[in-house]
Structures are given as C-alpha cells and as structure tokens.
A and B are shown apart, each in its own frame.
Chain A
Amino acid sequence: MIAFLLAQTIAITGGTVYPVSGPKLANATVLIRDGKIVAVGAGVTTPSGATRIDATGKWVTPGLIDGAGQLGLVEIGAVPGTREGFLRGDTIAAAFNVSEGLNPASMLIPVTRIEGVTTALATPLGNLVAGQAVLIDLAGNTIEEMLVKSPVGIVADLSESGKNEAGGSRAGVADRLRRAFRDALLYERRRADFNRAQMPPLPESPPDLEALLPMLHGQEALIASANRRSDIETALRLAREFKLKLVVAGAQEAWQIAGELARADVPVLVEPLDNIPSYDALGVRYENAGLLAKAGVKIALLETDTHNSRNLRQEAGNAVAYGMNWEQALRAVTLSPAEIFGVADRYGSLEAGKVANVVVWSGDPFEFTTGVEHVLIRGKEIPLKSRQTELLERYRKLPPSY
C-alpha cells in the first residue's frame, strides 16, 4: 500500500543521472521530499534523516511514460467483463471519459511499474470518436490518486478501422468528423435554442457535443489515430480547418511527410517495432521514428501491448537501432510524452519541483542486461513485487508450497 501524504525525504546518491532536460550528471544526487524532486546535481548534500538509496554505478532516469494502451482499463484481453475502454453504441463518444473505468487494483500495474514504466496514457478504443484519454501514474489506491491529468485529449479514429463507423469510406470518416465538429460549434452558439427545443435535435448527444468544445477551442488535443499518409494529411487538414491541437497516433507512414509534420508542429505517437504491412499502411517501417526525429518532429514512443507496456524500453532500444539517437529515444519515453500530454510542468524530467517519478537502473535502460533496482512513484519507493514475482517464488522449487 502506498501512503501518499506521508512526509519523507529520500536521497538517491552516487548514480549517473539523466535528467533529460539537461546533460547527464556523473555521481549526482536526486533529492526528493514529500513526493517532489527538490534538487538534482553533483553538489547536492543529503540532509540528515533522509532515506538514502545508493545508486553508485547505476543509471537514474525519470520514470518512463507509455503514450498508449489500456493500463487500468483491461485485466484479461479475452474476458469482456474485465475490459472498460470501449463504449458501445455511441459513434461520437466524446463525453466518454475512461477515468471511472480504471481499476487501481489491476494486476497489470505492479507488473508494469517494477520494470520502470511509471506513467501511462489510458486510452478509449473503438467508435469514430472513442472518448477521452487520461494520464495515470501506476500507483494509488483510488482513481483520484492515480490520475495525473484528465482528460488529456479526445481520441478519434482516422485509420481504416474508423470507416466502420462512417459508412465504409475514408471520405465518410472525414465528413462525419467535420459534421460533428460543426454541430458542436452550432450547439455552443445556440445552446438556449436547443434547450428550448427550438432546433431540431442533432445526431450527437448534447454531452458529446459539450465534450468536443474544449478540443475545438484548442484547450485539449485531438489524438487522431491515422496510419496511411493520406489519412495523416486528412488529420492535418481537419486540424487546420478547425484550429485544433493535433496529435497523430500510430502514424505508420508519417515518415513520408516528416517535414510537413515538423513544420506544422504536430507531435506523433509511434510504436517503433511496427512494420507489418496492411492496406491501411503499406509503407510501415522500422525507420519511422528515426526519420521523424531527424526531421525535427516531436515524438513519443509507444508499446501498445498493454500487458507488456514494460517493453517500452525494448521499443526505445530498437528505435535507436533503426535511426534515433539514444538521447532522442530517452526523451521520447519521458519528457516528450509529458510535453505532448500537457504535463511537462510536473512530469518527464528530473528537475526541482517535478513529481518524483524516478527509476534506478543497473545500466542502460534500453538494454536487456539491465534490471530495475528502484522505482519511485510520487516520491515513494515501490516494492519490486507483482503477481508474477509471487508465482516465481512459489514455483522456484518443486513441488510448490501452497
């Protein structure tokens, strides 16, 4: 159990610290008090009474942030009763915020955080507008304790799968989204008339229309799944028409228009180990992240297999193998997702004032040789235990003792 309000000072000393916001610091200290980072540097003194974590010879980074998946929203993929990320029967489900579907007791959460992922986007699935994604820390006894930001943005599907909700054509997808956005703006202008039933009802429900407005006013992001180059360009077109803050997710063929994305200052969420061609994106390739980074596009890396969000670091390592540089890849699993999701004032780097999500690694976090030695979420050290570590201990010797 994690007590959140207990005052505690922790000093992580002697490690090589990768603040991400600045160059790496040899033999540095990360000082944490009451859940926040209060100092980072080589000259930081450890106050007496502080709990000391010796990180000599270790690497210290911010906790990793996975910009995808359904952590907290799914327990067993094939068991519908354990899935909370999809709202049936609402094509424009803009008002569907997944928060209250989160399960703080999910067994996936310890499995994931003990391998260095401390924060994740919990995203709705399906429909044309799937709903509102939220950012969560992988700790906390209640939904309120887990939430970092809600909502982070409205998720819409401009990929092939979205067509099912829009008459079966990509043109239908764009048209349907445009109408929904216009309806929301119309609703906003004539709310009183709608409420007095002076206007014919719109196809979208009033709560969904209301929920689209912050996005249409640029206060929240549109997180658009799009893979084919032309679909990404459609997302860019919609963003221009409605002055949206766009984030492209999936983005398999984004490398083909990397310069355009960079000029438009549109960030992308990409899964580096994504290269199986489909008619949605024949041009999908391993070099996507590297080519986007080279063009100056802001990137967050994803591991979309929720049960193995812990493999985010393998994704990052492979992004390096296929063209990103190492520092870019580390940023793409820490500070860049924090910036894209609008929490960089609190998350994503090791700097005074930020939330103390910190991981101590035995070495390079992307390498298979490396293990996690300490995980802190909001300044509390997390025991390195999960259902899987318990299974290992039970069956380490046979016969097991039940």
Chain B
Amino acid sequence: MRPSLLLLFALAGGCATGAARPTREAGAAPAPAQAPAPAKQAAGESSSVDRQQYPSTYRRHPNPPVVIRNATIMTAAGQEIANGSIVLKDGRIVAVGAKVDAPADAVVVDGAGKYVTPGLIDEHSHLGVYAAPGTDAESDGNEATNPVTAEVWAEHSFWPQDPQIPLAIAGGITTIQALPGSANLIGGRSAILKLIPARTVQEMKFPGARYGLKMACGENPKRVYGQKGGPSTRMGNMAGYRNAFAQAEGYRRKWDKWNKDHQGDPPDRNLKLETLAEVLRGDIYVQNHCYRADEMAHMLDLGREFGFPFRSFHHAVEAYKIRDLLAAAGTGAAVWADWWGFKEEAMDGIKENAALLQQAGVRVNIHSDSPSGIQRLNQEAAKAMYAGIRAGIPVTRDQAIRWVTANPAWAIGLDSLIGTLESGKVADVVVWSGDPFSVYSRAVQVYNDGWLVYDRNDPAHQPRTDFQLGQTPGPGSDR
C-alpha cells in the first residue's frame, strides 16, 4: 500500500505537505486567493492524511438581485453614505453609493429611515456547542478530559438545530467563530461558520476559512485540572503550553522532512500534534482566552519562543493596560463592552477598554461569548464607543461598526471577503430599523451571501430550528 503514497504526493505537487497539509479547504463559494486546491480524492490506496479533511459543503442559496435604496449606508470602510443605495447580485455586493445602477429584475427594498451595515461577525461564540435548552446532553464545548486537546474540533460538537441560532440571525449576525470552551490550556479547533439554517455543520462552514486554535490562560484550566493532575498554577499552565508546542516542533520537523524527501514510511499521524504543527506553520490562527495583562505578555513570549503569532486575545479585560504591547505584536483583542467582576481575573474590566485599544492602533472587536449578547453586538459596540467618547477618547462611528464587522473579519482571516460594504465583497448585509447604535433599533432584514435569511416583517423569512417545532404556542406567536 505504501508506495502509492509517493505517487499521490507527486500529484499533489507543491501542496503536498502531508500532515502539514493546510486544513483550510476550498469550497463551493469563491474562496480567498490563498486557499489551496482541494486535496486529491485518491482511490482506495492512499492514507487518511491525503484525503479531504472535513470539507465545507456550503452552497449559495439562489436568490434574486436586491437593491436597497435611500438608506444610510455604514460601509465599515471609512464612509457613512446618507441616502445611499447598495446592490446585491449573485452573492456579491456589486455597487454601493449615492447613485447606483440596479439590475432590472432586482427586488427593491425601500431603505428610507433605515441603516445598512455589513453582516455582524462574532469572533467568540459557543452557539451550537453549548446549545439551548442547555442540558448536560447539549453541553459539548469543553473536552475537559485533558488539559491539551488540540485534536478536537468544535465543528464536531456543533448542533445546527440549536434554537439560539435563529435568535442570533435576527440580531444581524452572519458569521461566527464557534469555539471550544476554556477549560483546557489548548481546547481544540474553532469552526468558522456562516449563520444560516442548515442540516449539517458542513453546510455552514465558511469556504476557505482557516481554523482557529482555542487556548486559555489563567483561572479556568488551573481550576478544572488542579485536582485532576494539573496544571494547578499559572506557571503550570505556561509549562503545559510549552511542552505541547515543544512536542509539536519535533512532529512538524519529521513530517516536513518526509514531505520533502518521501524516504521510507511516512511518520504516524498524531492528531493533537498535527493541529499544533499547523499553528507552527502559521496555517491556524491562535485565538487565546486571556484576561490579565501580565498573562497576555507571557503568551506573546510563548509565541516568540515557538515562532507563531497570536491572532487575538479574547475577553482581554486588561488589554488596555498593555495596548502598546498588543499594537507592537500585531495581536488583536476581542473584548466585551462592560463585563467584569464575575471572577478575579475579570476584576479590572473597564468600559473604555475598546476605545483605548482603538486609540493605540490595536485591532479590537466586540465579541459576545454569550447566546444573549450575540443578539445585540451592535448595542455592545455602541456602549463601548460612547463610553470612550464620554471619557475623551476619540472613537468614530466607522471605527465602532468595524468592531463588529471588519475587525472580527480580520481576526478570522476573512477580511478580504466579508466585514465591509464594498463592491466585490460577499453580500452579507443587515438592514436596521434605525441607527444600529440606538437601543431602539432592530435588524429588519439580514442577507447572508445575498440570501434573505431573516425578515422581521415576513414570517416566511423567520427560520425556525427543528427544536422549535411543536411548541404551544409557537415561538414568537401570541396566544
């Protein structure tokens, strides 16, 4: 059997990296330029590593062109266009501006008095992995059996029938990063998902998206493992990360050598080290739950030791204290508007965190980590913006809308495709009843890849999961 591998890798050409094969997979929709060709499907004789690894099966939902007219368009690309229009066609934004040409067959949406933003993106969600109704049976977010579980993938826990999904869609969310929980030092791979009704998670996987690796600092791992063999201290946490990546270095070396010379048998696969090796190669983004400033500084050192960047720190309630270090490292921060105090490492949260990070040039975004908060990321961004402004820290409306659109798009590596309203971008678009920074505004229409997935005024566009069927009275209906 083995000799055929040689042939296979020869065919795969420059992409033949064995276990190093980038786990970004190309799918049906246009993918980022850097996305590799799909792994070759070999007949029978190849080994697992050479076959497609859990590909996206996403297909764009057919939909007519749409033109939204006379709305205030918040592009998240530097502009707020009064009385503007936007045209969506074949899943793309084809025109944005004061005057646009719309196809003759376009559905016309009157945007008078309304606001239009990019679809909102939540960089930190546990939808689907901690699904409602919140029973133990649906608690699939923490593989709390070992402090390092780099081998688990959030998508394999994700339940597409989570009734929290339509709630988040109604809040204007179009893309999420679904993450494993924070019990473990290294908790596993995230899933980058389009928030659409679907039967399988594969149908939701954002084509071409890179995986993230969830890591966690501080109290959680040492609490969970303190009585279960460790780590029980922050220094134990640190040693745990270092041991894991030290092993991954050797694994990566072995595979890189074999991929280059194909001498002898390929090394055995180790799923844990395979994921970590991809971090070392820069193909998986590190998404790190970390509250305290001093711990984030340690993690940046860890990245320097092993040669990988931290894409963003999540929660990061003390990020404002080291905003200069984060800006210099190019590491983003995903923060709440105002959560604090629920544990010791969250005691120093301040409402000006996001504004101070913005001022320092850090790519900051507002995340939810909550099935409730994800329904109003626009409001959370508004709170954080006005808290900054009131404290004399300048924040523009465009910057604040980027906190929930373009910046999280960058944090998951999809900023070339989503996160702004510009020609050529994916048609993920929200129409709001008014200024999205007002407490009284609500999403009235949500387009995902041009598909009207939610319309507050049309029950035909208010998706419901299987879980919600058979309830009396039906969800959302008055008795």
Contacts and interface: CB of A to CB of B under 8 A. Distances in A.
Interface stretch (B20-28, B230-238, B305-313, B347-355): B347-355
B114 to A, nearest CB: 15
A320 interface: yes
B342 A76 contact: yes
Contacts of B398: none
B324 interface: yes
A298 interface: no
B440 A392 contact: no
B338 interface: yes
A78 interface: yes
Contacts of B339: 307-308
Nearest to B220: A78
A282 B348 CA distance: 36
Contacts of A108: 341
Interface stretch (B93-101, B254-262, B470-478): B470-478
A256 interface: yes
Interface string B438-475: 11111000000000000000000000000010010101
Given A77-B342, A275-B372, A392 B441 contact: no
B202 interface: no
Interface stretch (B6-14, B132-140, B174-182, B405-413): B132-140
A84 to B, nearest CB: 15
Interface stretch (A175-183, A213-221, A365-373): A365-373
A314 interface: yes
Contact of A76 (B347, B376, B440): B347
Interface in B377-412: 379, 382-383, 385-386, 390-391
B323 interface: yes
Contacts of B390: 371
Given A307-B341, A314-B383, A317-B440, A395 B132 contact: no
Contact of B471 (A282, A367, A391, A392): A282
A398 B359 CA distance: 12
B342 A321 contact: no
A282 B437 CA distance: 30
A368 B386 contact: yes
Interface in A66-114: 75-79, 108
A367 B438 contact: yes
B344 interface: yes
Interface string A275-307: 111110011010100010000000000000001
Contacts of B347: 76
Interface string B332-347: 0000001111111001
A287 B376 CA distance: 15
Contact of A395 (B320, B344, B386): B320
A321 B439 contact: yes
B471 A76 contact: no
B344 A78 contact: yes
A154 interface: no
Contact of B132 (A276, A367, A371, A400): A276
Contacts of A367: 438-440
B372 A76 contact: no
B336 to A, nearest CB: 10
Contacts of A274: 372
A388 interface: yes
B134 A278 contact: yes
Interface in A2-24: none
A255 B476 CA distance: 11
B350 A318 contact: no
A75 B468 CA distance: 38
A391 B348 contact: yes
B167 A78 contact: no
Contacts of B164: 276
B132 A314 contact: no
A78 B323 contact: no
Contacts of B342: 76-78, 307
Interface string B276-320: 000000000000000000000000000000000000000000001
Given A76-B341, A321-B439, A256 B473 contact: yes
B156 interface: no
Contacts of B133: 277-279, 282
Most A C-beta atoms less than 10 A away, residue of B350, B375, B386, B437: B350
Most A C-beta atoms less than 10 A away, residue of B323, B375, B479: B479
A21 B366 CA distance: 39
A318 B382 CA distance: 14
B219 A78 contact: yes
Nearest to B378: A368
A308 B343 CA distance: 14
Contact of A388 (B323, B350, B478): B350
B371 interface: yes
A273 interface: yes
15 contacts: A78-B219, A108-B341, A276-B371, A277-B133, A282-B475, A283-B473, A285-B475, A307-B342, A308-B339, A314-B379, A318-B376, A321-B440, A368-B379, A391-B348, A392-B352
Given A273-B376, A276-B134, A368-B383, 14 more contacts: A76-B347, A79-B343, A79-B344, A255-B478, A256-B479, A276-B132, A282-B471, A308-B339, A317-B440, A367-B438, A368-B379, A368-B438, A368-B439, A391-B348
Interface of B: 132-135, 163-164, 167, 219, 320-321, 323-324, 338-344, 347-352, 356, 371-372, 375-376, 379, 382-383, 385-386, 390-391, 437-442, 468, 471, 473, 475-476, 478-479
